[in-house]
Chains A and B, each alone.
Chain A
């Protein structure tokens, strides 16, 4: 077991219950799809897994270890979170891809070479984009793929994708979904939120977040 939630409850201050007594299990290398109505707590579930939100009761384990016992930076290196809206900083694509390596907690990880980075750009079908391209010239779809590459460079074991295809054109969406399936085949646990009715190829299990914070796996 890779990630487990045991009787987890969460609500925002003065808000309704987002998760109520939720218990879930995510296996290593499996591909999960999280579904639920808007505002049901799909994003919150992913944010709880990487401690961008804190649970109010219950516990979450990552590889048998309570996530509150793992230093946040170490947890987030293993459990990568990719936001719904791609966030890139002003500068080149290279600057953005190497951003995580400027943080103290990642100093022990050696940054990838230009050759390696270019390989990633090619494999994500970012044709016409070079490492020296300005990040603010990229389309949303291209930015989303750059953000996904940036998270993968730290070699996570779990990747949390918060509606990665929400604002993408069909072509970019197909690339991202294809990559997500490929990652799970490589042994990375993929937990993805999707608003689409269609179930992407390669999904192993669907997690449904129902009304009133109830969860079904």
Chain B
């Protein structure tokens, strides 16, 4: 069952602006003050997606390994930049360990999925590597920012408890074990919840895209299952490694809590 996709032309695309107009009228009528954000958001959606479309077309056409990996590095850099903005604690340097662990972990996970599970040859085939890596980075970005935010806020809120343990001879791992555990858990809950809801509450984006482009739904769900499980693995690995490395930076060599 493979049908050719119905193309969306410039006219149909501009018709979609009617939806934004509707939202704009609502905002105006109820004085929500969202008009400016809606306008900028719409322009950005068009610009960013068109730009991404041309970049992808170029990378797919060039089919060069280093170009694919360069694009992946760009995606991780953007994700780390967003994490940096979302995490309110600025006194602990977490950007470099986050970037390095995301690059290493997610390259390996994506390689495993494209090369072994999907069986793409070579493993970096852009058509497979880039969308799958993009999903991993996007989901993990949310998980890591939730996890780090929780880690920092709990270390602050439970400072007395952490210092009580340190004063009794605990090292930084023992003193913050429970806090790390709950931070990792908080980061992973959204991807575990999506495992429960998938197919019942929502049809995931990738599967919807494949079905719209004419792929047999039974093939599309297999891809989606791979993606869902891959996302759980990558968010758990990512949050564990990043929070472990960042937690170390919250303590001095003398086992002293640095975060205030």
Pairs across A and B, CB under 8 Å, 30 listed = A51-B254, A51-B256, A52-B167, A54-B252, A54-B254, A72-B166, A72-B256, A73-B169, A73-B170, A73-B171, A73-B255, A76-B167, A80-B167, A80-B168, A81-B167, A83-B163, A83-B167, A87-B161, A87-B164, A89-B161, A99-B168, A100-B169, A103-B168, A103-B169, A103-B170, A104-B171, A105-B171, A106-B168, A106-B169, A151-B168
Q: Does A85 contact B (CB under 8 A)?
A: yes
Q: Does B216 contact A (CB under 8 A)?
A: no
Q: A99-B168, A105-B171, A147-B164 are in contact. List 6 more A-B contacts (CB 8 A).
A: A52-B167, A52-B256, A72-B166, A81-B167, A87-B161, A103-B171
Q: Which of A138-164 contact B (CB under 8 A)?
A: 147, 150-151, 154
Check A50/B169 contact, CB under 8 A, given A72-B254, A85-B160: no
Q: How many B residues face the partner with a CB closer than 8 A?
A: 17
Q: How many A residues face the partner with a CB closer than 8 A?
A: 28
User: Which of B's residues lie within 8 Å of A, judged by CB?
Assistant: 160-161, 163-171, 174, 252, 254-257
Chain A residues near B255 (CB-CB < 8 A):
51, 72-73
User: Which of A's residues lie within 8 Å of B, judged by CB?
Assistant: 50-54, 68, 72-73, 76-77, 80-83, 85, 87, 89, 99-100, 102-106, 147, 150-151, 154
The one of A52, A53, A105 in contact with B169, judged by C-beta atoms closer than 8 angstroms, is A105
Chain A residues near B160 (CB-CB < 8 A):
83, 85, 87
Chain A residues near B169 (CB-CB < 8 A):
73, 76-77, 100, 103, 105-106, 154
A73 to B171, CA, bound (A): 7
A68 to B256, CA, bound (A): 12
